[in-house]
Chain A
Amino acid sequence: MGYANDKAVVVTGLGATTPLGANVGDFWSGLMAGTSGIRLLDERFAAYELPVTFGATIAVEPAEMLDRIEARKLDRSEQFALIAAREAWADAGSPDVDPDRLASVVSSGIGGVHALLDSYDTLRERGWNRINPNSVPMLMPNGPAAVVGLEFGARGGVHAPVSACASGAEALAWASMLIRLGKIDIAIVGGCEAAVHPSPMANFAAMRALSTRNDNPQAASRPYDVDRDGFVMGEGAGVLVIESEEHARARGARVYAYVAGSGMTADAHHMAQPDPNGSGAARAMLRAVEDAGVSPADIVHINAHATSTPAGDVAESVAIRAAFGDHADSIVVTATKSMTGHLLGGAGAIESIACVLALHNRIVPPTINLDNQDPDIHLDVATSQRPLAAGTIHAINNSFGFGGHDVAVVFRSA
């Protein structure tokens, strides 16, 4: 609706390196098995006496998956993005495409924080002329998009919409609009983050945003549970290959699902706290539903933003009920951050992949650690695998970010 020459957009490739594994297969099987990706932080963190001693660290170190020389010119966040993009592109069949019609849209929430902080350490300890000359392309927030664009020769545009923890979903929304508008045919899209580092961990701890459940880290990420006390910092990346349906069909590509519509709004309420009325989030979901040309009653599943913070989880529940009314009772909600932790700019990407695979496999992964659902959460939350109906069905991925960003993406089964 609303677009000239509107093109249907399909997902044809998936890639992820996450706390659950170094590829999409391990990510999905980890989710379905209810596996926690949370681990104790190593000795590099000990000196700072942070109030948090754990994080959802990457399952396989990127150094094990990249050439040594290639890796040393990339920030950790860029390494994650490149690994996931290579998997996604191969999964899409490594298509031979017109480079002028190919875009890279890969976001992060913070950018190359390791590179930035390493260069500051070097500046203070050894002086400016010992700083890594690659540090600027390593620390710039468009770095991951540029690295992926260079790898695959994307000349149709390189973009990195930054909206904190909504960044990965905004990348997908932005790229799908470019395809629908006919500006490009195919895009490599996603999000990444590498913020399990003492400084950003301290920054988020200072906000009192992180769980401090140090006596039981694997129970720390517990969205919707009455005893939740904050999110768990995660790291990694997710990347999807999306393209116009006609482009995909012409090359005989396998189609996982459609990117049917997206909605992007803002709370204009507070820099970091969610609007307790959830109005921005509700409008994002309704805009996405409208953009997909369906009705709210067509949505059967939501992969919620649900970070396990006391205020955020309730606000999203309020938003879902505001958007869907009584139909909310018929929507299976899951919070996969209970297993992956919160990948910030990567979250919207890996959760979109989870949403796509839920539609593709007709099954919703569980939310773990939900022992006692908060009485203020009025949602049907999956605590075990839940089947989805046959036929054409729709699901939403929600991603929200500090700054008041609300992004919802609607996917349609293939």
Chain B
Amino acid sequence: MTEQEILEGLAGICNDLAGVDPSIVSMEKSFRDDLDIDSLSMVEVVMACEDKFGVKITDDKVNSLETVGDAVTFIAENA
């Protein structure tokens, strides 16, 4: 799966779970500061990513995923 495909999948998840406009979900955006995804919603986003991309994301890892790009890179490397 390409990074672009992962980005599109992640944008869909952010829209589904938190109502974020998929068109603003880009690599440099911060989940918390730019997309207004709070810590509880982030737990949901992580669950959905695990299910969709077949990747395991530990709580420790989640804390280091500040931007969309961080998540896309992690998923691309570990899926």
Contacts and interface: CB of A to CB of B under 8 A. Distances in A.
B19 A68 contact: yes
Contacts of B41: 133
A132 B19 contact: no
A69 B35 CA distance: 14
Interface in B1-54: 17-19, 40-41, 43-44, 47
A69 B47 contact: no
Contacts of B47: 129-130
Contacts of B19: 67-69
A132 B41 CA distance: 9
Interface string A101-142: 000000000000000000000000000011011100000000
A220 B41 CA distance: 43
Contact of A69 (B18, B40, B43): B18
Interface residues of A, number: 9
B11 to A, nearest CB: 15
B18 to A, nearest CB: 6
Contacts of B40: 133-134
Interface in A52-70: 67-69
A204 B4 CA distance: 53
Contacts, number: 15
Nearest to B40: A133
A69 B47 CA distance: 17
A378 to B, nearest CB: 55
A31 B10 CA distance: 49
A146 to B, nearest CB: 14
A204 B56 CA distance: 43
Nearest to A72: B17
B32 to A, nearest CB: 15
Contacts of A130: 47
A132 B44 contact: yes
Nearest to A130: B47
Contact of B43 (A67, A68, A133): A133
Interface string A67-80: 11100100000000
A129 B40 CA distance: 13
A101 B19 CA distance: 33
Nearest to B47: A130
B18 A133 contact: no
Nearest to A68: B19
Interface string A302-344: 0000000000000000000000000000000000000000000
Contacts of B18: 69
Interface string A275-295: 000000000000000000000
Contacts of B44: 132-134
A134 B47 CA distance: 13
A123 to B, nearest CB: 14
A70 B44 CA distance: 14
A69 B40 CA distance: 13
A67 B18 CA distance: 11
Nearest to B43: A133
Contacts of A132: 44
A67 B19 CA distance: 9
B45 to A, nearest CB: 10
A75 to B, nearest CB: 15
A130 B44 CA distance: 8
Interface of B: 17-19, 40-41, 43-44, 47
Interface of A: 67-69, 72, 129-130, 132-134
15 contacts: A67-B19, A68-B19, A69-B17, A69-B18, A69-B19, A72-B17, A129-B47, A130-B47, A132-B44, A133-B40, A133-B41, A133-B43, A133-B44, A134-B40, A134-B44
A-B residue pairs, 4 tightest by C-beta:
A69-B19, A133-B43, A133-B40, A134-B40
